[in-house]
Amino acid sequence: MPKHINHPGVNLKEIISERNLSQRDVSAKLDIAHSLLNNILKGNRNINTKIAIALDSAGFGNANDWLTRQMEYDLYIAEKDEDTIKKRKSIKDWSLIEDSSIVPLSYFKKQNIGVSTSEDIQKIYQIYGVENVQELQQRIDKFNPTYFRKSSKFAENKNHVIAWSLLAKYKASILEVSKFNRSSEKELLENLKEIFYKGNDVVNKSQDILKKYGIKFFILDRPSKTPVDGKSFMSQENPAIVLSMKYKRLDNFAFTLFHELGHVFEHLTNPMKPEFNTEEFFVNSSNTELVEFEADNYARNGLIEQKLWNDFINLNEEFSDEVILDFAKNNKIHPGIVRGRVCFEYNEYYRKRSSITAMNRLEL
């Protein structure tokens, strides 16, 4: 298409001038108002089908030619329109992202965050903290958090892991909670353990308690091939914990939450360990960092004190449901948490049927 295209009214004006006709004579021939013709010649009104046919009938050229000129002019103007330019770029970039699979768009469409078509590409850029598709690719290429290791047991798609991680940070950034206070650690843990023990509406009640104590918390489902159980990090001035709920079991939820709380209190907000304040901690099966062992120990001992556990182990040769239920009741610990630890330390119990399994199911 040429660099510049005139409105077809300019061409009509030249023809009228060449024929030494007045605008009033031409408007009479076309059976249209003089003011309408004048606006067409000035480029303020378009030549529509009716006028094109009238021009053809009056000997001013083929109707199809006039309509073609009008269409070419309209396209030319549209190409220069800022909104049109943005829309074309959005469609192009969206297609590039979709074809290259660098962002799992189908996952974002399911998250109810305002992403459904190419018109929403700015939301993707906002989540990834970039301005354009080039920066998006660079962001993905450079994504390499310190405390994340690929699991050898599960298939992983790096782009999916990144999407989950960055969406978690984005959603946390728009949450509002109370001011965080490290000195409330013990009180918070006791409140959570009471919720676990009662086993009623555990996730929602845990979220309410964490919010009260200044910790952002929510569940975020994962795209496929994303072997991540959870993540903890600082979101503005507050710690944030996001879980994926791969397993719908109370013991798994409790342990994973306490594991992340271990990162919150032992690493992210620990004034004696400032090197961890800006880190992001992921939960997955292959991480062997010392900080992960520390978080695991925090969770184990936070849910069941080590001395209490040692006494339980030493006093019992077998861990039947009756033994577990009795211990759980006496110490106000959910039996699913007790059996979960038994199964972890004594693998043969995984294969045994248990009435506690039904009690351990977690409703979301």
Q: Say if residue 24 is exposed, middle or buried (CB neighbours under 10 Å; 0-12, 13-18, 19+).
A: exposed
Mean pLDDT over each residue of the chain, to the nearest integer: 92
Least confident interval from 65-79, 98-112, 175-189: 65-79
pLDDT tens digits, 282-318: 876 455 578 889 999 999 999 999 999 999 999 999 9
- Per-residue model confidence (pLDDT) at position 285: 47
Element (H, E) at 242: strand 238-243
Q: Contact at 8 Å (CB) between 236 and 225?
A: no
Structure tokens at 344: 């972890």
pLDDT tens digits, 15-27: 999 999 999 999 9
pLDDT tens digits, 177-226: 999 999 999 999 999 999 999 999 999 999 999 999 999 999 999 999 99
- Domains along the chain? 8-80 (1.10.260.40), 83-142 (no CATH), 158-303 (no CATH), 306-359 (no CATH)
Banded model confidence at residue 171, pLDDT cuts 50, 70, 90? very high
The answer, yes or no, to whether residue 2 has pLDDT greater than 70, is no
pLDDT tens digits, 122-165: 999 999 999 999 999 999 999 887 666 445 566 789 999 999 99
Q: Say if residue 279 is exposed, middle or buried (CB neighbours under 10 Å; 0-12, 13-18, 19+).
A: middle
Give the Å distances, CA to CA, from 108 to 87, 116, 138, 166, 364.
20, 8, 20, 11, 21
Q: Contact at 8 Å (CB) between 8 and 73?
A: yes
Specify the DSSP class assigned to residue 223: P
Q: Contact at 8 Å (CB) between 70 and 46?
A: yes
- Rounded to whole angstroms, the Cα distance separating 150 from 132 reads 28
Torsions phi, psi of 20, nearest 5? 55, 40
Least confident interval from 76-80, 95-99, 143-147: 143-147
